[in-house]
Chain A
């Protein structure tokens, strides 16, 4: 008797949570295909009043969104790849490098986390200018190819790596690189995945820095492009909403395709 009641309660709870999560997405989707005015700020906006592609046409006219999505994808891959690579190598060196005072080296990295981004932005901007990289995609990810936070996370995980495995690998003839890529990284995959995800999300969401170091619409990332579709005094948000739908498509596809891996990654290590 108790079980069906619990099931219904659980179902109702999940339905409400699903509704809360999906409502803003549906609202944006409906707003992007409704004839002008796209939205009025009320829940009545969820009732269809017609259908139009005009807002999408307007969004593509205002900014080269597809090109900017490609730029964002390049930035995500380059920034994440390089950041994870440098972080893994640095953390490996700190833990297994046989330095006399590895804590000091880590401390030097951590000090950089205590300087707010706002304080370094001018210096970074001038460096990018002097390197002749201004208004290029490289400028967007260049300052973020190293991350003290990622190094710290990986170092903490590597510290807990069983020394027996390390010794066994060494006895079996594995050199440092073979040990790193064949033993260490596969066995610390949850942390590596976390570092990768955090880095990728930060790269995708970057706004102020890409805005500062780029000027031409074709060199900008999609976050900057979408912002140009909105204005505080705007009378119609249709084009902006259409832009949001376009830029969310890759993320939605990624989640649908990768949800099995994501779920596995999140639960890995939960039960041994």
Chain B
């Protein structure tokens, strides 16, 4: 299974680079002011969520189809998870059958932007003559999809990592979620204290490269340079090895070996389960896991934001966004796509998606409203964290087209650290490999 997934990932990377070269970096066409809405227009929308999240999404697609005044019909097509959708898109690029609307996973953003397939919604001529305005998008969410000062996608289903905890277990160690730790290092101190006081582990989280990126952003340090790839220049090197990060992973290694942090390997579901059954007092996980853990746990789950060590730092938001893939599509189709993007990003729709699926709202008005009406402590903590997240290059997250393999290398480094390997050299090795891959990608993509 692992071999197959690796193979798929490798295939996707190869195909992505190939299609990137084919697609070229064509300039965005100059939009007309207004597009005449002549007759019905039907457009394809590729989406990548299943289960109840898909129910929440389809509810809004149906609402748009029955309520829009431009005779637009959205044809939603499920294309598997984000990786599989990426695989399908790279195939579709070759045959010129790309959809005009795509729900893109966060890590696929650099490719969609670099390939020239995407069109920034604000550059598309619309039916009503009003250009798309992204001012209403929550700053932290917009930050992730803003390249060179332009919003390239409308955040659709937003998630952000946080710390979930069992207040009773914290209390037993004389700790309180009301006064959360001030840094990840202090969070690991908490895990040690809980273990010393109760004999049970204090913290659990999966060994995943995502945490390396998050810990770096919390220190207000960009993960790749320059500017995390979000400025006018593409990222050319990874830059995550520093004293702070080495100290954090060294602390992790010690706490893991002592039993204060549970070792669940790279399995995220195992981490959630370990927390839900009371094996650990705290869980470091995405906001998307709140629903599952709440359903499973026999205790009340509380949450606090990821501790921000340096001003300007914060948790990098993830999830998915709605991309308009203008390349090869008519003005009418693009205008219809932007109309749908506007609808999906609106306050009412984002509030409803939050209530139906648990994904955080990407609309500021919806977020403000929920901050006053939401009564659940963990949900409120997540909403407050999203509001408070600074809009800096660090919190925008690293964006580059060679992230796939380099992420796998960082994951291996974290697994090696968990197994007792030297922290500094493991991270340096992953960083150097990643930078080589990045240079190779930039060369092939003529960046």
Chain A interface residues toward B at CB < 8 A: 36-37, 39-42, 62, 116-119, 121-122, 125-126, 129, 208, 211-212, 215-217, 224, 227-237, 239-240
- Please, how many angstroms separate the alpha-carbon atoms of A39 and B269 in the complex? 13
Q: Give the docked Cα–Cα distance between A215 and B273 (Å).
A: 35
Q: Tell me how far the C-beta of B264 lies from the nearest C-beta in chain A, rounded to whole angstroms.
A: 12
Which residues from A are CB-within-8-Å of B78? 217, 228
Supply 10 further A-B pairs (C-beta < 8 A) apart from A129-B95, A239-B51: A41-B277, A41-B296, A42-B296, A122-B18, A125-B94, A211-B80, A211-B88, A229-B50, A232-B81, A234-B51
Q: A41-B276, A41-B296, A212-B91 are in contact. Are A118 and B14 (CB under 8 A)?
A: yes
Contact partners of B206 in chain A: CB under 8 A? none
Point out the residues of chain A lying under 8 angstroms from B148, CB to CB.
none
Which residue of B is nearest A37, CB measured? Answer: B295
Q: Which of B283-332 contact A (CB under 8 A)?
A: 286, 288-289, 291-292, 294-297
Contact A126 B94 (CB under 8 A): yes
Report whether B8 and A233 are in contact in the complex, using a CB–CB cutoff of 8 Å: no
Tell me if B387 counts as interface (CB < 8 A to partner A).
no
Give the complex CA separation of A125 and B88 in angstroms: 10
Chain B residues with CB below 8 A from A126, complex form = 91, 94-95
Q: Does B97 contact A (CB under 8 A)?
A: yes
Contact A229 B51 (CB under 8 A): yes
Across the interface, B358 reaches (CB within 8 A) one of A122, A230, A233, A240, namely: A233
Which residues from A are CB-within-8-Å of B102?
A: none
Q: Is the CB of A125 within 8 A of B95?
A: yes
Residue of chain B at shortest CB distance from A121? B11
Please measure, in the bound complex, the distance between the C-alpha atom of A233 and the C-alpha atom of B52, giving whole angstroms. Answer: 9
Shortest Cβ distance from B97 into A: residue: A129
A231-B296 contact in complex given A41-B277, A122-B15, A211-B88, C-beta closer than 8 Å:
no
What are 28 A-B contacts defined by CB distance under 8 Å?
A: A36-B295, A37-B296, A39-B296, A40-B276, A40-B296, A41-B276, A42-B296, A118-B7, A118-B10, A119-B11, A121-B91, A122-B15, A122-B18, A125-B94, A126-B94, A208-B80, A208-B87, A224-B80, A227-B81, A228-B51, A228-B54, A231-B49, A231-B50, A231-B52, A232-B288, A235-B358, A236-B52, A237-B51
Let me know if A211 and B79 touch, CB within 8 A: yes
Q: How far is the CA of A122 from the CA of B92 in the complex (A)?
A: 9
Mark interface residues in B52-80 (1 if CB within 8 Å of A CB, else 0).
11110000000000000000000001111
Is B415 engaged at the interface, CB distance under 8 Å to the other chain? Answer: no
Tell me whether B357 is interfacial, beta carbon within 8 Å: yes
Q: Is B272 an interface residue (CB 8 A)?
A: yes
Instruction: Closest B residue to A118 by CB, please name it.
Output: B11
Q: Does B165 contact A (CB under 8 A)?
A: no
**B residues engaging A (CB < 8 A)?**
7-8, 10-11, 14-15, 18, 49-55, 77-81, 84, 87-88, 90-91, 94-95, 97, 159, 269, 272-273, 276-277, 286, 288-289, 291-292, 294-297, 357-359
Whether A233 contacts B77 by the Cβ 8 Å rule is no
Contact call B273/A41, Cβ cutoff below 8 A: yes
Q: What is the CA–CA distance of A208 and B291 in the complex, to the nearest angstrom?
A: 29
* In contact, A212 and B88 (Cβ under 8 angstroms): yes
In this complex, what residue of B is CB-closest to A231?
B51
Hey, which chain A residues are within 8 Å of B80, CB to CB?
208, 211, 224, 227
**In the complex, what residues of B have CB within 8 A of residue A125's CB?**
91, 94-95
**From A117, which residue of chain B is reached at the shortest CB distance?**
B7
Q: Are A240 and B7 in contact (CB under 8 A)?
A: no
Closest approach, in angstroms, between the C-beta of A15 and any C-beta of chain B?
Answer: 27
Q: A118-B14, A129-B95, A229-B51 known; A208 and B295 CB under 8 Å?
A: no
CA distance A62 to B78 in the complex (A): 11
A121 to B88, CA, bound (A): 10
Asked if A231 contacts B53 (CB within 8 A), the reply is yes
Residues of A close to B357: CB separation below 8 A: 233
Chain A: CB-nearest residue to B85: A211
Q: A41-B277, A122-B94, A212-B91 are in contact. Are A230 and B296 (CB under 8 A)?
A: no
CA distance A125 to B15 in the complex (A): 12
Known: A40-B276, A41-B277, A122-B15. Is A234-B53 also a contact (CB below 8 A)? yes
Please tell me which one of the listed residues A121, A129, A234, A239 contacts residue B292 in the complex, with CB atoms under 8 A apart: A234
Across the A-B interface, give the 3 residue pairs with the lowest CB-CB distance, nearest first: A118-B11, A235-B291, A233-B288
**Measured CA separation A20–B363 after assembly (Å):** 48
Which chain A residue lies CB-closest to B13?
A118
Taken together as a complex, chains A and B put the C-alpha atoms of A217 and B58 apart, in Å, by 14
> B7: which A residues are within 8 A, CB to CB?
116-118
Do B51 and A240 touch across chains, with their CB atoms under 8 A apart?
yes
Residues of B within 8 A of A232 (CB): 81, 288
A240-B52 Cα distance, complex, nearest whole Å? 10
Residues on B with beta carbons closer than 8 Å to the beta carbon of A62: 51, 54-55
Residues on B with C-beta less than 8 A from A228 are 50-51, 54, 78
Once the chains are docked, how many angstroms separate the CA of A122 from the CA of B279? 46
Asked if residues A230 and B51 are in contact (CB atoms below 8 Å), the reply is yes
Identify which of B7, B52, B77 gathers the most chain A CB atoms within 10 Å of its CB: B52
A40 and B295 contacting across the interface, CB-CB below 8 Å: yes
By the criterion CB–CB under 8 Å, are A233 and B291 in contact? yes
The distance from the CB of B354 to the nearest CB of chain A, in whole angstroms, is 12
CB-based contact A233/B53 at 8 Å: yes
**C-alpha spacing A269/B95, complex, angstroms:** 50
CB distance from B335 to the nearest CB of A (A): 23
Chain B residues, Cβ within 8 Å of A40: 276, 295-297
Smallest Cβ-Cβ distance to A45: which chain B residue: B296
Give the distance to chain A from B293, nearest Cβ to Cβ, in Å. 9
Residues of A within 8 A of B294 (CB): 235
Alpha-carbon gap, A208 to B83, bound state (A): 11
Q: Which of B10, B90, B359 contacts A233 (CB 8 A)?
A: B359
Q: Which residues of B contact A117 (CB under 8 A)?
A: 7
Residues of A within 8 A of B53 (CB): 231, 233-234
